Amino acid sequence: MKSKTVIVIGAGIGGIVAATHLAQHGIKVTVIEKNSRAGGRCDRISREGHHFDTGPTLLVMPLLYEAEFQAMGSSMRERLDLKRVDPTYHLVFDDNSQLALTSDMKSMQEQLEAFESGSFQGLLRYMNEGHRHYHVGIERLVNRDFRKASEFFTFKNLPLLYQLKPFANHYRNMSAYFDDPRLKAAFTFQDVYMGLSPFEAPATFSMMPYTELAHGVWYPRGGMYSVVEALMELARAAGVEFIFNSPVERIDANKTHARGVVLSNGQTLEADAVLANADLPYVYNDLLPDENLAKTLKSKRFSCSVISFFWGLDKTYETLGPHTLFLAHDYRENFERIIRDLNLPANPSLYVHAPARLDPAMSPPGQDTLIAIVPVGHMSENGGQAQQSCGQDWKQIRDDARQHVLRRLASLGIHDLESHIKFETSFTPLSWQKRYNLMKGSTHGLCHNLTQLGYFRPHNRHPRYHNLYFTGASTHPGTGMPTAMVSGRLSAQRIMDDLQVQL
């Protein structure tokens, strides 16, 4: 019998994983990618011996990675050379106080008690809540594919209303554990991973600081792009075909089914099913003909964006740890400027990553590689590639963000960094949109507020074209490398179920 065929649009994490599962079950899979290499926004820049991850810079939720590698018949530990990062972050506050987040509970006790008496007991109670949120959330929400409303709205799921605190505000919930605003910030900033403000995120996301401290933060040799390379090895071993430098112009569909894709060079490729791993709002807006569905998706809440700086330095700054996070005292105003005003805060919180502290091969000997990430609002409109968009002057915003990074580093005694920059590459929301087709330059896709989680998040199959499927950050279960792997597996399972492929 002739093998079933599937075309995957986009070689992001979800697309690679889905393609691997499908190919391992005898389906002929072709992945079409617009760029010259795989990974999507989890990309790599290499220049003059300096190597930069453009996406995630650390591996969190290792248990989820392990489970997803195992589901593909492999082992994460055998595929990746992992190093535990501890302390995970070096937090620097505006009053010059500092906190090193570590799994060493004795060190945490000494540090926290210096901030606030009794706060270590607060951390233990918070970790207990995070443990529940993590394990219940992964089992009952993340790993589930809610194909019908009846699979989500069940009596069995009613306890989730109090088990996961979905209606409790994350930052407000911190008052049960800490009084000091610095500590509240220290254990809620991870909400930015979801493109969310902790002032609107559900308390469910206490699972993130929990997993970082309980399961560890890790760094693979070669950087996070080595995860992409490991997944590509599995995909190619399964027989997946990749075609790079080939943008998809549109999805070819009739009234009920997708027939294949049309490439930008006019070539048409046919398949039994199409799986879109491109940014979901972009797929609806640019690759499909239904304007009403595109408008509905475009009207949803989008995550924030970031301005990223990639610096090759001719000098090493050994005093700078691998992960340094500067948290502003006007924490709430930071998020209001980003989420409400779609702008750069006056005193932004920001993150600096020095990968050579963890893997010396990430920079030439005697030199350094730095990545600075400054959260900003997404584009206020999705039009054009101009530097200015609806009052957002991205060149000026980028220049302001750079000065904030240099100012923050100067507070740690690093005053000469600018004079040692050999080269700079920077990404603004315009860059994220152009390079990776991320609508509005939103680096995390659709945001993860309560009405866009679980069953309420866009599903992985088109409502009308029943052989058109989706995977990636804007579909269930959401953004992040490990959840993208879950998304890929869930989408592949649904395709196989619909194609009636025997497992």
Q: Are 5 and 27 in contact (CB under 8 A)?
A: yes
Top-confidence residue, 265 or 155 = 265
Top-confidence residue, 412 or 142 = 412
**What is the reported pLDDT for 503?**
45
**Confidence band (pLDDT; 50, 70, 90) for 119?**
very high
The percent of residues in the chain predicted with pLDDT above 70, rounded, is 97
Top-confidence residue, 251 or 289 = 251
Spatial CB neighbours of 350, under 8 Å, sequence gap ≥ 6: 325, 326, 372, 373, 374, 375, 401, 404, 405, 408
Q: What is the DSSP string of 354-372?
A: -GGGT-GGGS-TT-EEEEE
Query: What average pLDDT does the segment 227-242 reach?
Result: 98
Q: What is the mean pLDDT of the chain?
A: 93
Query: What average pLDDT does the segment 380-387 reach?
Result: 53
In the sheet that holds 305-313, the strands lie side by side as 98-101, 89-93, 323-327, 350-353, 368-376, 305-313, 421-427
**What is the reported pLDDT for 451?**
80
Any idea what the Cα angle at residue 66 is, between residues 24 and 499, rounded to 5°? Answer: 30
At 343-378, the pLDDT tens digits run: 999 999 999 999 999 999 999 999 999 999 999 999
Cis previous bond, 477, omega within 30: yes
**What is the reported pLDDT for 1?**
64
Q: Say if residue 439's pLDDT is above 80.
A: yes
**Confidence band (pLDDT; 50, 70, 90) for 501?**
low
Q: Say if residue 397's pLDDT is above 90.
A: yes
Between 40-54, 132-146, 155-169, 404-418, the lowest mean confidence (pLDDT) is in 155-169
Top-confidence residue, 149 or 56 = 56
Buried/exposed 232-253: b ≥16 CB within 10 Å, e otherwise: bebbeebebebeeebebeebbb
Between 119-123, 334-338, 453-457, the lowest mean confidence (pLDDT) is in 453-457
At 168-226, the pLDDT tens digits run: 999 999 999 999 999 999 999 988 877 789 999 999 999 999 999 999 999 999 999 99
**Confidence band (pLDDT; 50, 70, 90) for 390?**
low
Q: Say if residue 427's pLDDT is above 50.
A: yes
**What is the reported pLDDT for 471?**
97
Q: Are 326 and 92 in contact (CB under 8 A)?
A: yes
Residue 362 has which token pair? Answer: 């990430």
**Confidence band (pLDDT; 50, 70, 90) for 384?**
very low
Cis previous bond, 482, omega within 30: no
pTM of this structure: 0.94
**What is the reported pLDDT for 385?**
41
Q: Say if residue 388's pLDDT is above 60.
A: no
Query: What average pLDDT does the segment 461-465 reach?
Result: 93
Q: Which of 57-61, 140-144, 166-170 has the highest mean pLDDT?
A: 57-61
At 271-308, the pLDDT tens digits run: 999 999 999 999 999 999 888 888 888 889 999 999 99
**What is the reported pLDDT for 386?**
42
